[in-house]
Amino acid sequence: MASSSPKNLTTTNHLRHVESMASLPSGAGKISHLNAVILGEALASEENDFVFPSDAFSHQALIPSPHKYLEMYKRSIEDPAGFWSGIASSQFYWKQKWGDQVCSENLDVRKGDIKIEWFKGGITNICYNCLDRNIDAGLADKIALYWESNEPGFDAHLTYSQLLHRVCQLANYLKSIGVRKGDAVIVYLPMLMELPITMLACARIGAVHSVVFAGFSSESLAQRIVDCKPKVVITCNAVRRGPKTIHLKDIVDAALVESAKNGISIDVCLTYENQSALKRESTKWQEGRDVWWEDVVPKYPTTCDVEWVDAEDPLFLLYTSGSTGKPKGVLHTTGGYMVYTATTFKYAFDYKESDVYWCTADCGWITGHSYVTYGPMLNGATVVVYEGAPNYPDSGRCWDIVDKYKVTIFYTAPTLVRSLMRDGDEASCISNLVYTLKSPYVTRYSRKSLRVLGSVGEPINPSAWRWFFNLVGGSRCPISDTWWQTETGGFMITPLPGAWPQKPGSATFPFFGVQPVIVDEKGTEIDGECSGYLCVKGSWPGAFRTLYGDHERYETTYFRPFPGYYFTGDGCSRDKDGYHWLTGRVDDVINVSGHRIGTAEVESALVSHPQCAEAAVVGVEHEVKGQGIYAFVTLVEGVPYSEELRKSLILIVRNQIGAFAAPDKIHWAPGLPKTRSGKIMRRILRKIASRQLDELGDISTLAEPGVVDQLIALADS
């Protein structure tokens, strides 16, 4: 059983570093900031490697200082009901307020069933709060969505008023075919405006949307259809991603055949004609089931009554990906998720009404739910939605889009950052430490509109952080390096731009209402500088409530490992200043001769080598050490493989971490197996590393399936 600390002591332990930051003399801050910016990589291994926000940025920030953060954080921990009910009451519309109890929770399996409830009894609707409420506040003519096609030169936009009309038309159509409150709707769409429109239309009528990333195989889609038994499947005929055409309707057709074999037949498949990818006459069609979106939806009225729902009524199901066996259907409810995503978006990006926001994530993942659709629109933001590949037609496309729409907040994944570094960086190396940044793909564009950058999905290594900060952001844009999960609904540990200095690669400090604790194998909380298992004490409004149809698995996976806590499954270190460093999934921790080594730590060391563009590390069985370290390494474009370079890469890990962390195998990798969202499929890498080539499983979600054959061919080189 973990030792428990009084709430005020916990708060003090979390924040004594912030209090010490507040007392830093401005001169020291400026010197550290200057050194960090100018020296770049040379400071990557410095213990006190702070990057300070500029005074000008801090002065205009929503949270301008550690003092302000400390004040709000303390209240959020000591009086969570008062803190969150104050935000919920003042910033959202409720048809009916909740009862006396703001929050009811049990996170201890020893005391009964796990239960988390926020604002129960409160009646609201998240679509109404995203659209109607903002229109009533005077934002009817503000741009809600800018849409950028895969092909340069093709675009569209919708104001908040126009978006509401489109949402209502689809909501009315769904009602006409029998979709009611609580019914599931499977959505298999690419990043067209119709994707957030569909999510909002479902929410408006109380239906539960389940967006499936339009890159999953027909088998994976069928699994989800069978599990949630939707009333309708919504898709489009095809999409262009880069130079490729992907026939989504064909995938859906195969999935519907498979689901029918398992007893789940779908009566309606609503299909949007994406003319830029495929004409309707070339689309395979099943009469009586398939319906063209354009033929029916525009005929419906542009107003639709709101279905008012309880705060604890389901909002959406999102199935986790990449694991074997039955996918986990993460269930989020309405009220707490609404309040939490809106609040995290507002503060973690220092949102202003004039901002233009672009998150590169797909709505098939949680990031696209919380920080493409709901979080931004609850704040009345202008959002960019991009259909295509980030390096099409070349690696300058992201910055072209930034300039075109005057994007001010840019939120993306470390994998994309590293990919763009590799594709476009004509970096030269000085003394093996400092990069001179001459990337034409970045520097040919202004990017002057940018003021905040963001990172999501995995720990960002310091060298990628610096490239992102120094080159993309011109050494002036704070980076919100966010840590959170599908299950958490929103940011948990994140910088607040302007509030405190950053350390490249650190997620820094907890968001309001979040109590992260680091525990040892016995579940005992560890104070001060330490490493261990990351857990969360107490609930927060955005937490998921169950796994759909499998509450026992929910409890076993997340609450039974360390009773009394939510177990994140991640490893974490806290440094002497209190900054949090995520070390990767616990199942990505390699135990080498008794040393627990986070894969992210080894990857960061490898990528700090000037000739290494990207690295992915997995554990393999070792007859002497228990586990060995197996590193897949992608080199900077044009750098040849060599035994000398292999030794140099191993040496840099030895020097930065220690001899015990030196990779046993460097496997040259022209590319890494990634989903189209940029997530590295480590399951596949483990199978290749252990030569279990007959167990690779489904690789249909990979952006480049051919990479797998390349890696196998290079296995013994």
Measure the CA–CA gap between 253 and 72, rounded to whole angstroms.
51
Measure the CA–CA gap between 11 and 77, rounded to whole angstroms.
7
Residue 263 is which amino acid? G
Active site annotation includes 587: yes
Residue 509 is which amino acid? F
- 586-618 burial, b for 16+ CB within 10 Å, e for fewer? bebbbebeeeebbbbbbbbbbbbbbbbbbbbbb
Phi and psi (nearest 5°) for 433?
-125, -50
68: helix, coil or strand?
helix
Sign of CA pseudo-dihedral 701, 703, 705, 710: negative
Residue 130 is which amino acid? C
Measure the CA–CA gap between 636 and 190, rounded to whole angstroms.
31
CB atoms within 10 A of CB 81: 12
* Residue carrying the six token digits 């919380």: 370
Measure the CA–CA gap between 411 and 143, rounded to whole angstroms.
19
Measure the CA–CA gap between 651 and 563, rounded to whole angstroms.
41
Q: Which residues are registered as beta bridge partners of 539?
A: none
What contacts 24+ positions apart, CB below 8 Å, involve 639-647? 639/611, 641/668, 641/717, 645/611
Residue 675 is which amino acid? T
Measure the CA–CA gap between 678 and 283, rounded to whole angstroms.
29
568: helix, coil or strand?
strand
Question: Do 179 and 152 meet the contact criterion of CB atoms below 8 Å apart?
Answer: no
Measure the CA–CA gap between 219 and 356, rounded to whole angstroms.
38
Question: Token digits for 183?
Answer: 């019914």
State the catalytic residue, choosing from 113, 267, 295, 587. 587
What DSSP letter does each residue of 697-714 carry, written as one string?
Answer: ---TTBS-THHHHHHHHT
Measure the CA–CA gap between 654 and 132, rounded to whole angstroms.
58
Alpha helices, H only, 212-334: 218-228, 248-261, 293-296
| Sheet architecture: strand order including 566-574 | 515-519, 530-537, 566-574, 580-585
Question: Do 547 and 553 meet the contact criterion of CB atoms below 8 Å apart?
Answer: yes
Question: Token digits for 530?
Answer: 């330490």
- Catalytic residue numbers, as ranges: 587
